[in-house]
Amino acid sequence: SGLQEYVEAVSFQHFIRTRSLISMEEINKQLVFTTEDSGKENKTPSSDAHDKESGTWRLRITPVDYLLGVADLTGELMRMCINSVGNGDIDTPFEVSQFLRQVYDGFSFIGNTGPYEVSKKLYTLKQSLAKVENACYALKVRGSEIPKHMLADVFSVKTEMIDQEEGIS
C-alpha cells in the first residue's frame, strides 16, 4: 500500500504541473538509486533489484500498484476540484472533470477482469467523478446566480448530502 500512496502522490504532483497522467515507466525511472560506495564490499544479501557492479538499486512499481495508486489519485482530484471552486477558480473543475472521465473510461475497460481491489476502487472513482460532474453542472447552470464567495459553501453542503445519500460519512 505504500507504493500505491507513492504513485498517488507523484501522479497528483504531475497532474498539477502538466494536467496529464504520469506513466508507470516515468515513475519507475524516478526510482533508480545509486550508492556512493559502489566500489566497497557490500554486506547486504544479493537482490534482483540491486546491481553490485554499479551500486544501483531499482524499485519497481507493478501494474497493479500503479492502477490502484491512480485510482486513489481521483479522490485527491475531486477534493482539488471542490477547493478550487471555493477559491474562485472555475476552470479547474472542468479540466479535472474531463481528466477523471478519461481515467474512469480506462478503468471501465479493465472491469471485473482485474484484481478485486480495482473493482472496489472503481466504485469510489465513480463517486468522485459524480461529485466533480455535479460541481461542473452547478457551475455551468447556476454559476452566474451564486456569488463567487458563496460557491464553496454550496458545494460543501451538496457533497455532504451526496455522501449521506450513499451512506458515506
User: Which parts are annotated binding residues?
Assistant: 8, 76
Which of 155-164's residues contact partners 24+ apart within 8 Å by CB, and which partners? 155/82, 155/85, 155/86, 156/82, 156/86, 158/134, 159/82, 159/131, 162/127, 162/130, 162/131, 162/134
Closest CA to 23 of 56, 57, 69: 69
Q: What CA–CA distance (Å, rounded) separates 79 from 113?
A: 29
The binding site for Mg(2+) comprises 8, 76
